[in-house]
Amino acid sequence: MEELNSEILLELLDAREFKKLKEKLENMHPVDIVEVMEEVGERQRVLMFRLLAKEEAAEVFTDMNSDMREDLINALTDSELEEVMEEMYVDDTVDVVEEMPANVVDRLLKATDEETRKKINALLQYPEDSAGSIMNIEYISLRKEMTVEEAILKIRQVGINKETIYTCYVTEKKKLIGSVDVKDLLTVGESRLIEEIMDENVLCARTLDDQEKVAAMIEKYSLVAIPIIDHENCLVGIVTVDDAMTVLQDEATEDISIMAGVTPNEDSYFGTSVFQHAKNRALWLMLLMLSATVSGEILAHYESAMAVMPILITFIPMLMGTSGNCGSQSSTMVIRGIAVGEIEFKEFFKVVFKEIRIAILVGLMLAVVNGIRVYIMYDQDIMLAIAIGITMIAIVCMAKCIGCTLPLFAKKIGLDPALMAAPLISTIMDTCTILMYFAIITAFFKL
């Protein structure tokens, strides 16, 4: 594979050395061509696209982002567009169609033949994030009466257009009854019947299943593809491992965004406008800012205690910070545990029990270290060291409990557990910490 060297390509383009450029492009992976195209102007991009071989052009077209694609569609002639559409897989076409504005969709659909148009419309019916919306409708189906030789012959005839042919599915009246790996076809005798060698225990998913669930199945069972059946148990498509990988990565990105208090959107960081970024972030900030005023009011309430013992204010940032961090640690561990399917609501008490034990250990450690610091720094005030130590253990326990339970409750009532991450937890913990701190301190020093 040629090293990606966009400069050389751009030089060739500027020098109008189209023949050499064409050769270079032929040896490049479509994904890399898209990367180069991202760096050049629109006019150059169209020029470059026109140099690509038909099949490669379709792949490049599939891989580019929606803005680039829209510009390109506007620049291409109808017949050029038709050529690209002909080479594209139906599921990729659907992905493209879903993102385009109505006028572009019209042009795209006009550029596809009648039969494909029907398939596109059928796929467009599936809800976003469903298995149906990401499935591939090109796969090989075999009949159980076929011999291995006939099956191989069928693959030879039709396989060249299929994105994945390594697992073939055996159907009877469109219903899925088994699967055969190409590996098996190649390694058993040619006269054997499909029926004899097929695996009847086929893992499958349904068109309306959540895409994340389907991707997780592919990962769990190390599959290359999973067949998708409709409500009548008829085989309608497959989801392949590369799509599953993208789904899992996108879901992780989405979770990470939500956990940082950012409304996720599907575009990339640079692909999202400043205004959209601000919108995605402002809502949470606003909500948390207003909630945080509660902590402020409570703090103001204890003004008199702080007037008597001004040193009390010194410990507030540390206590608030520690409780927020403790709570976020627990909630993050649980959120991720839920996301990867390790933790379920039924393990509620198991989780809480574990977190409490962790909290006691961690709380003790922090209390001792901090106690020594307080004792040394504040005139060997042993009472103060003890009071802050007790507060520390109490807030760590509280933070870990709240941190681990909120995501589980969120899951239970159908909310995204990732909402219960650092930003919300630390805002809640700020309020709880101040209340707990002054409750302990005022009792301890009889303020």
Applying the rule CB under 8 A, the residues between 171 and 190 that interact with its own copies are 182-183, 186-187
- Which residue's CB is nearer to its own copies, number 12 or number 339? 339
Answer whether 117's CB lies under 8 Å from 109's CB. Answer: yes
For residue 232, which phi and psi values (nearest 5 degrees)? -100, 15
Residue 204's SS3 state is coil
Of 72-80, 89-97, 328-336, 435-443, which segment contacts its own copies by CB under 8 A? 328-336
CA distances from 159 to 119, 140, 286, 374 (A): 19, 7, 55, 74
Any bridge partners for residue 373, and if so which?
none
Binding of residue 315 to its own copies (CB under 8 A)? yes
State the nearest-atom distance from the C-beta of 249 to its own copies, in Å: 6
Cα–Cα distance, 213 to 223 (Å, whole number): 14
| C-alpha dist (Å) from residue 340 to 47, 54, 379 | 45, 40, 50
3-state secondary structure at position 79: helix
List Cβ neighbours of 158 (8 Å cut-off, separation of 6 or more). Answer: 140
Q: Is 308 in the site for its own copies (CB under 8 A)?
A: no
- Checking DSSP bridges between strand 225-229 and strand 205-206, what pairing results, if any? parallel
Specify the stretch interacting with its own copies by CB under 8 A; choose among 76-84, 121-129, 131-139, 311-319.
311-319
- Scan residues 14-43 and list those touching its own copies (CB under 8 A): 27-29, 31
Least distance to its own copies from the beta carbon of 12, Å?
18
Q: How many CA atoms lie within 13 A of 70 on its CB side?
A: 12
- Tokens, residue 370: 């901090």
Residue 299 contacts its own copies per CB under 8 A: yes
Shortest reach from residue 329's CB to its own copies, in Å: 5
The binder of its own copies chosen from 134, 229, 244, 398 (CB under 8 A): 244
Please report how close the Cβ of residue 121 comes to its own copies at its closest, in angstroms. 26
Candidate ranges 7-15, 129-137, 230-238, 242-250; the one touching its own copies (CB under 8 A): 242-250
Nearest residue (CB) to its own copies, 79 versus 222: 222
Residue 111 or 358: which CB sits closer to its own copies?
Answer: 358
The sign of the torsion formed by the CA atoms of 326, 332, 338, 341 equals negative
Bridge-partner residues for 136, per DSSP? 238
DSSP 294-343: HHHHHHHHTHHHHHH-GGGGGGHHHHHHHHHHHHHHHHHHHHHHHHTT--
Residue 261 CB partners (closer than 8 Å, separation 6+): 281, 284, 285, 288, 421, 422, 423, 424
Choices 117-125, 127-135, 317-325, 408-416 (CB under 8 A): range interacting with its own copies = 317-325
Query: Whole-number minimum distance, CB 324 to its own copies, in Å?
Result: 7
- Contact pick of 70, 92, 212, 242 for its own copies (by CB under 8 A): 242
User: Does 336 interact with its own copies (rule: CB under 8 A)?
Assistant: yes
Q: Is 422 in the site for its own copies (CB under 8 A)?
A: yes
Site for its own copies in 71-130 (CB under 8 A): none
Site string for its own copies, 347-376 (x = CB under 8 A): x--x---x--xx--xx--xx--xx--x---
Is residue 447 involved in binding its own copies (CB under 8 A)?
no
Q: Of 41-49, 50-58, 82-90, 287-295, which part binds its own copies (CB under 8 A)?
A: 287-295
Cβ closest to its own copies, residue 70 vs residue 219: 219
The strand pairing partners of 141, in sequence order, are 169
Which of the residues 188 through 227 are near its own copies (CB under 8 A)? Answer: 201-204, 218-224
Residue 320 lies near its own copies (rule: CB under 8 A): yes
